[in-house]
Structure 1
């Protein structure tokens, strides 16, 4: 994913974070690459005004207070936020790795044992957060980043904006990500329970194992209809036999019929142990596998075919679906074909972010707005450097050594490709 320069209207600083460039954009707003005074990279997400109202702002402020108490190795750490800003923003730990949606679309589904390992890791992380009284409510493959130390969940607290005061079943507008949404959430039932995250995790694991979601259709309205229809069973085609009981339970229509997250962890362990493996070994293989696939897709050597960001898109804003009246044309959902699972690769490749990114030379892919993934942006026409400003109107960038090294490589790449 390319990093692009800040636009003239972009703020140079948010809170204590200096903004270095744009790294993602979606339905809820813009994602910036930020840097703390000490040089720590951060994903800074700014919410666009159209999804902000007094109620969502109030709930976001409440969830920020909860986020300050949430910590875990599988949760992207909270670094800062401002619910009272004209455009609310949230800064979280930067995770150097692709999201699950991109990985599956470019490398194919995960083997069943690695899908089970992913399920155990994420279920345990969600359970820990639930004990603090916080639900995710927008879990999807784009909100799970496959970092060098394993998967991490991002975007906790931002569901306050996806669940605005606009009804999810209003005739002229839909806000949300229907392909991973629990039936009761799609129907507007309040209050929501932990079961909505169990359902979303089941949809995520089905996608990880098969490359498709429980319900897919040509428009979001049709997806909502399928999700909420008690007579329409989720599409589990292509799912490995050993995962069928787990996925069937997690994707149950009734919240009461779904297993607890503790049960999910135990069922995932059973799948792994039935294949003669320990849970710790499966977790290591999952990280090695995703890192190995990332290395295979990354450029080698010091030459860069095109200027790319040294970091992958962290808190990518999977474009939350905003739909016009049903009469208008809607993008087609991705197909439900299931690519062959890649072979296990337990040898992680180099992770020097100065010479590779999460997607390597993989060509940009345009994806539908309702599959929970982002759209690739064109390669910028000039090096991704931010303007320097001082306290009187300009400021000096506090680039880390990593950022400076990358800037040097990008300048060299641009010079080599220049036609003059």
Structure 2
């Protein structure tokens, strides 16, 4: 997902975070790409000025207190917040990668072994959250980011302490996304238990493996009806046979009939080991698979961003010549999909950025634009810091950057995992 430039009315900074661009819009406000004083990328959420009142500030402050208690290697980290600022803001870790929904839409479903690896990773992460007395309550593909170091869970804005402690919603108010919502959650049953996240994870894994959800309909109200009807079984068509027992249990209508998250991890391991693979190997393959397919997508240029000057003749002539090295497909993986260009941001969930620009055309003409400057590894790919007076940014050979990218791709393709 491309990052768009800041609007003139956007603040240049919030707290200690300099704002570099816009990365999406959520229900309560705008989400910016920011950077800390130490250079740490962050997703900075700001409440819309039109809804800033005492009630929204109170909800925002409560959300911040919840997020402070959530931690784990598969959870996007809390970095800072200020509920009392003129524009209340919240900063969390920026994960450089597409969400699961976008990945499946672009590249198709995951192989069953990689779906099982994803299930084991997320179930273990959710289990750690549950031991902190918390539920996510809105787990869905759009809230799973496929970063360079593996998947991470984001958007705990709907998370709450188990209802015996505190609730962020009014009585009888249903919060969440219908297509991944457990029947008891859709029916407004209180208190909720960890089984709601087990069901949502099952719906998410079904989508990862098939591209569809357990219940789909034209309107959210019709989905609610299907989810809460005990006589309507979830649609498990196209689900791999080795995943059917796991998905059937996780998507059981009754909360008590679903497995625990520990049992989910064990069943996912059984699927992986049944394919002659270890869990650590499957996890590495999942990350390599999603990262490799991500670089097949060529995002459109972000409007309004300056392009670097073309490389000099000297740069081009001295760069070593290279040849494209095709990466072999993973076992049980779908054939690579065609290059896809996406320019319309998803305004319902905080989106993330896609891969660096594809190689520019070599023929002349209006469409022959110079390649965009590649950022350093710790900077988001398509957005750079606003230029400051008196500074100089060194340029590197375009061909040398391409050579390095292809060498990395060739090494990743030949790795034993």
Give TM-score, length-normalised by structure 1. 0.70
In the TM superposition, residue 293 of structure 1 has moved relative to its aligned partner by 0.9
> 2: distance between equivalents of 1:368 and 1:21?
16
1:16-415 aligned at under 5 Å gives the runs 16-48=16-48, 57-58=57-58, 60-85=60-85, 87-159=87-159, 164-165=169-170, 176-298=176-298, 306-307=301-302, 343-344=329-330, 362-364=340-342
> 2: distance between equivalents of 1:7 and 1:369?
16
In the TM superposition, residue 56 of structure 1 has moved relative to its aligned partner by 6.2
Q: Deviations over 1:98-143 (max 9, x none)?
A: 1111110001100111000000000001111111122111111111
After alignment, is 136-145 or 179-188 more displaced? 179-188
> What is the aligned residue count?
339
Q: Deviations over 1:193-220 (max 9, x none)?
A: 2111111111110100000111111111
> 2: distance between equivalents of 1:397 and 1:140?
44
Cα distance change, pair 101–78 in 1 and its aligned pair in 2 (3 A): same
Cα distance change, pair 139–36 in 1 and its aligned pair in 2 (3 A): same
In the TM superposition, residue 39 of structure 1 has moved relative to its aligned partner by 1.4
Larger Rg: 2
Q: Secondary structure at the match of 1:268?
A: helix
After alignment, is 97-106 or 64-73 more displaced? 64-73
> 1: distance between equivalents of 2:53 and 2:127?
30
In the TM superposition, residue 43 of structure 1 has moved relative to its aligned partner by 0.8
Cα distance change, pair 101–165 in 1 and its aligned pair in 2 (3 A): same
Residue 206 of structure 1 contacts residue 213 of structure 1 at CA under 8 Å; is this kept in 2?
yes
Q: Secondary structure at the match of 2:122?
A: helix
> 2: distance between equivalents of 1:150 and 1:102?
16
Q: Deviations over 1:7-38 (max 9, x none)?
A: 22222222211111111123342110001011
Cα distance change, pair 397–68 in 1 and its aligned pair in 2 (3 A): farther
Residue 3 of structure 1 contacts residue 309 of structure 1 at CA under 8 Å; is this kept in 2?
no
Residue 366 of structure 1 contacts residue 375 of structure 1 at CA under 8 Å; is this kept in 2?
no
In the TM superposition, residue 241 of structure 1 has moved relative to its aligned partner by 0.9
Give TM-score, length-normalised by structure 2. 0.71
> 1: distance between equivalents of 2:194 and 2:390?
42
In the TM superposition, residue 185 of structure 1 has moved relative to its aligned partner by 1.7
> 1: distance between equivalents of 2:135 and 2:87?
23
> How large is the RMSD of aligned CA atoms in angstroms?
3.9
In the TM superposition, residue 249 of structure 1 has moved relative to its aligned partner by 1.2
> 2: distance between equivalents of 1:115 and 1:219?
28
Cα distance change, pair 177–41 in 1 and its aligned pair in 2 (3 A): same
> 2: distance between equivalents of 1:10 and 1:190?
40
Cα distance change, pair 248–280 in 1 and its aligned pair in 2 (3 A): same
Q: Deviations over 1:41-75 (max 9, x none)?
A: 11112233677776665454344334334332211
> 1: distance between equivalents of 2:189 and 2:180?
16
> 1: distance between equivalents of 2:390 and 2:220?
44
Q: Secondary structure at the match of 1:21?
A: strand
After alignment, is 88-97 or 34-43 more displaced? 88-97
Residue 76 of structure 2 contacts residue 152 of structure 2 at CA under 8 Å; is this kept in 1?
yes
> 2: distance between equivalents of 1:191 and 1:77?
27
Structure 2: any 5+ residue segments left out of the alignment?
161-166, 306-327, 354-381, 399-417
Q: Secondary structure at the match of 1:80?
A: strand
Q: Secondary structure at the match of 2:71?
A: coil
Q: Deviations over 1:145-173 (max 9, x none)?
A: 1111111111123457x97549656xxxx
